[in-house]
Amino acid sequence: MLNSCGFELIDLIISTRYHYVAADKEPTSDRLLWADAFFFRVTDNPDTLRAQSLIVAAVYGKPTLAAHLLGASG
């Protein structure tokens, strides 16, 4: 739904896994229980791209994505 509204998934962070005992009696955490997701609106607006770049670098620690967004801002 968010994609159809012009948003793009950037990452899942702070995920929590569902822990259970598998059939072979070994504990496993293969199933995602919940996670925080962050999305950015797809845009070619230079001001928005610069703001997204700052957010992704300062808040989420993703310098290469920040550089990519800055490069797309012109």
Distance separating alpha carbons of residues 39 and 36, to the nearest angstrom:
10
What residue has token string 């950037």?
A: 10
Distance separating alpha carbons of residues 67 and 72, to the nearest angstrom:
9
The pLDDT tens digits for 25-74 are 888 877 788 889 999 999 999 999 999 999 999 999 999 999 999 998 77
pTM: 0.72
